Amino acid sequence: MIDFITFCNYAGTFAFAISGIRLASAKQFDWFGAYVVGVVTAIGGGTIRDIMLNKTLFWLEDASYLIVSGLALLFVLVFRKYVIKLNNTFFIFDAIGLGLFVVAGLDRTLALGHPFWVAIIMGTITGSFGGMIRDILINEVPLIFRKDIYALTCVLGGCIYYICHRLNVTPVVTQVVTAISVLAARLIAVKYHISVPILKGDE
């Protein structure tokens, strides 16, 4: 039976890859191009995290992440009638991937002995930077820079993880609560149009 962190890594990879492939389809990418966008979305944040932590890139040690991204493409192709045509498909899978990857980034950083403030930063990078690279590739303004609350939900998740840790909550419960909190915060922010104030230039 796999542990929750392994589940976060694989399920997050699958969800983020689908979100990338979904956007690539809207731009009329071919299958290979869509796969590349899906892979970059899925592994981009973790890649930047591992580079900053001076660790071997996780997907170089385990090719299954590339395979899972391929399965995500297959999933979209098989169920394209439902996945591509539904306007909220991208948002749902992106929000799920965000919550799962924040937990994965936090856990990997803490396992290396770094303090919590570093873990929160790395959790945020793991969760949000893959989407940023995805948006750049498809020529969109990165979601992280728009008014929607995105990266801040990752920071919130990191803070909740820290609070649970200080309260001696069991690791699995801490990880589950953190992932759900990020997902819930993202859903609430979009539903109620909660956003960060826009920085306006000179008028």
64/174 Cα distance (integer angstroms)? 26
Q: Collapse the DSSP code of 193 into the 3-class scheme (helix H, G, I; strand E, B; otherwise coil) and give the result.
A: coil
Residues 34-51: what's their mean pLDDT?
A: 97
What percentage of the chain has pLDDT greater than the value 70? 95
Q: Which amino acid is at 184?
A: A
97/77 Cα distance (integer angstroms)? 20
**pLDDT value, residue 2:** 67
**pLDDT value, residue 9:** 93
Tens digit of pLDDT for each residue in 51-77?
999 999 999 999 999 999 999 999 999
The alpha carbon torsion through 61, 66, 67, 69 (nearest 10 deg) reads: 140
Using alpha carbons, list the distances in angstroms from residue 37 to 44, 114, 171, 200: 10, 31, 33, 32
Token pair belonging to 189: 């922010």
Using alpha carbons, list the distances in angstroms from residue 156 to 29, 132, 160: 34, 19, 6
Banded model confidence at residue 127, pLDDT cuts 50, 70, 90: very high
**pLDDT value, residue 3:** 86
* Count of other CB atoms within 10 angstroms of residue 195: 14
- Which helix (H) or strand (E) is 186 found in, with range? helix 171-191
Q: Which of 21-25, 105-109, 199-203 has the highest mean pLDDT?
A: 105-109
Tens digit of pLDDT for each residue in 133-153?
999 999 988 888 876 789 999
Using alpha carbons, list the distances in angstroms from residue 8 to 33, 40, 139, 145, 193: 25, 17, 28, 25, 27
Beta-strand (E) ranges in 37-177? none
Question: What is the pTM for the complete model shown?
Answer: 0.92
167/160 Cα distance (integer angstroms)? 11
